[in-house]
Amino acid sequence: MKPEFDLCIIGGGAGGLVVAASGASLGAKVALVEKHKLGGDCLYYGCVPSKTLLHSAALAHSMRNAARFGIEAHTPRVNIGAVMQRVASVIKTIEPNDSPERFRGMGVDVIFGSGQFIDPHTFTVNGRHITAKKFVIATGSRPAIPSIQGLYKTPYLTNETVFNLHENVAHVIVLGAGPIGLEMAQAFVRLGSQVSVVQRGAGILPKEDSDVAAVVLEQLRNEGVNFYLGHTPMQVEGADGDLRLTVQDSDGQQKNLHTTHLLVATGRQTNLESLGLEAAGVGLNNGRLILDARLRTTQKHIYACGDVAGHYQFTHMAEHTAGVVLRNALFHLPAKVEQRVIPWCTFTDPEVARVGLSETEAKQQGIAHKAYTFPFHDIDRAQAEGATHGFAKIITGPKGKLLGAALVGPHAGEIIHEYVLALSQRLKASDLSKVIHIYPTLAQINRRVADARLKEGLTPMAKKWIKRIFQLRG
């Protein structure tokens, strides 16, 4: 029997929506199954609310520190309820882009409910059997909850509940010092809460070089965040507004931390349970989908994209992997997931942006490399804006080919894109040195750090000749 649809997508978040919209616009007959609301984590519990919250927090921080800029400082009166109302209103403004009406208007059959495969070619939801030539699993991820004694019976926040807070938070302990934990820690400390961060590992932002992470750590400490690094959460008890967390350091010493709120940000877990993957014959390894480079599962007509499909759990990766799935599933073009040039940003202040190899990775992988840095302190625009913490770092091969870049500083997430292009085009540091950068911009740091490599790259003979020319000219 002919399948009813060309494409059936399970999960209507960042990845699933791109596949659905593009598939329908290309004339495919598309079904989209969503168990909750179209839009997914990014819109409701992730990127959009977190960046909106951080913006309010930045404003409060600026008010407190206005005297540095010649303006009378104020201790802002923060109303968390009103701040979260603004978060909700930003979500509401963006929401129509992901509305079921919009997708139905494109010809997509939007079906609400959560279902499961009953065989490799049939997904059943609300009693309806959906047959399709190709399936796409795009069910995203949720907060991974660590097994801490007492946690299951104690109230705690995650990214799925924190944006619903109505009352001010006196003290929040954040479990986890990755991007989500640190963004939330800075947001709450700037909004007037006492904030502590508990991290099992010895450092924060474990994917970044330690000198990069150190800049963020110093800034957050200066803003009043307490860090318990190398501390393992052992036990939690108490009730709403009165919690006690017991942590243990690497020497086995325990201490009790008291708090009003606990926010769990200890990683992500993919949503793959209850999809009937066994009935579909889709293989898993350690709870993760087994995928080839074209994002096909062990059933070649069932694909995956977004957070379920890889280690880089970002909205832009969900969009990228959605594109890979489309090219493979609809056009039968052998498209593969980008592995080399993947940028990301942690939106603390200062921001941390990365693309390509870090210095640590280059060392670990035994890749011949050199690292060059340039401080924001020496960038005039950074001085003008009083945002001088941080630096740019590039990693190059022996002949100057760019291998990676990291920026920790103001607007790092915007400035990094020059390196994204440079890496994708396999350029050298000297190519960046040749480009005129507008004065005074923060992006000038990209040229300055490349110049550092250029200066070093001059041969002794070239240096001798330059000296001679200057001597001749007096």
Ligand X SMILES: Cc1cc2nc3c(=O)[nH]c(=O)nc-3n(C[C@H](O)[C@H](O)[C@H](O)COP(=O)(O)OP(=O)(O)OC[C@H]3O[C@@H](n4cnc5c(N)ncnc54)[C@H](O)[C@@H]3O)c2cc1C
**Residue 16 interacts with ligand X (CB under 6 A): yes or no:** yes
- Sequential DSSP letters for 264-292: E-S-EEE--TTS-HHHHT--EETTEE---
Query: Which C-beta is closer to ligand X: that of 47 or that of 59?
Result: 47
33 touches ligand X (CB under 6 A): yes
- Residue 41 binds ligand X (CB under 6 A): yes
Torsion of CA 319, 321, 327, 333, to 10 degrees: 150
Residue 40 beta carbon to ligand X: minimum distance, rounded to whole angstroms? 2
Question: Residue 166 carries which side chain, given as an amino acid letter?
Answer: H
State the minimum distance, in angstroms, from the CB of residue 307 to ligand X: 4
Looking at the Cβ atoms of 36 and 129, the one nearer to ligand X is: 36
Per CB under 6 A, 410 contacts ligand X: no
Is residue 468 packed enough to be buried (19+ CB in 10 Å), middle (13-18) or exposed (0-12)?
Answer: exposed
CB 150 within 8 A of CB 236: yes
Q: Which 101-120 positions form the footprint of ligand X (CB under 6 A)?
A: 114
Phi, psi of 261 (to 5 degrees): -135, 155
Q: Which is nearer to ligand X, 54 or 402 (CB)?
A: 54
- DSSP letters spanning 102-164: HHHHTT-EEEES--EEEETTEEEETTEEEEEEEEEE---EEEPPP--BTGGGS--B-TTTGGG
Q: Which of residues 333-362 bind ligand X (CB under 6 A)?
A: 347
CA-to-CA distance for 407 and 384, rounded, in angstroms? 19
Is position 176 an interface residue for ligand X (rule: CB under 6 A)?
Answer: no
62-to-9, 59, 73, 74, 223 alpha-carbon distances in Å: 44, 5, 8, 9, 12
- Considering only 23, 178, 181, 306, the residue that binds ligand X (CB under 6 A) is 306
Among 6, 8, 11, 260, binds ligand X (CB under 6 A): 11
CB 283 within 8 Å of CB 292? no
- Residue 275 vs 379, nearer CB to ligand X: 275
Applying CB under 6 A, among 84, 138, 165, 174 the residue interacting with ligand X is 138
Shorter beta-carbon distance to ligand X: residue 27 or 113:
113
* Residue 124 contacts ligand X per CB under 6 A: no
36 sits near ligand X (criterion: CB under 6 A): yes
159 binds ligand X (CB under 6 A): yes
Contact window for ligand X (CB under 6 A) among 310-318, 334-342, 348-356, 442-450 = 310-318
Contact call for residue 133 and ligand X (CB under 6 A): no
Residue type, 285: N
Nearest partner of 51 among 396, 351, 374, judged by Cα: 351
- Interface map 262-281 toward ligand X (x if CB under 6 A): ---------x---x------
Residues 472 and 462: beta-carbon distance below 8 Å: no
Number of residues that bind ligand X (CB under 6 A): 34
In angstroms, give the least distance from the CB of 2 to ligand X.
24
Among 23, 140, 181, 192, binds ligand X (CB under 6 A): 140
Q: Is 50 in the site for ligand X (CB under 6 A)?
A: yes
Comparison of 103 and 374: residue with beta carbon closer to ligand X? 103
Which of residues 307 and 359 has its CB atom nearest to ligand X in the complex?
A: 307
Phi, psi of 302 (to 5 degrees): -115, 120
Residue 288 touches ligand X, criterion: CB under 6 A: no
H or E stretch at 181: helix 179-190
Joined tokens for residue 228: 């318990």
Q: Closest distance between ligand X and the C-beta of residue 10, in Å?
A: 5
Q: Which of 28, 42, 195, 243 binds ligand X (CB under 6 A)?
A: 42
Could you say which of 13, 176, 350, 409 contacts ligand X (CB under 6 A)? 13
Q: Which is nearer to ligand X, 47 or 335 (CB)?
A: 47
Interface residue with ligand X, options 12, 23, 233, 400 (CB under 6 A): 12
Secondary structure element (H or E) that encloses residue 328, with its range? helix 315-331
Q: Between the CA atoms of 232, 236, 240 and 242, what dihedral angle is there, to the nearest 10 degrees?
A: -80
Contact 174, 199 (CB under 8 A): no
Our CA angle for 360, 363, 365, nearest 5°, is 105
Q: Which residues bind ligand X (CB under 6 A)?
A: 10-16, 33-36, 40-42, 45-47, 50, 114, 138-140, 159, 180, 271, 275, 306-307, 313-316, 318, 347
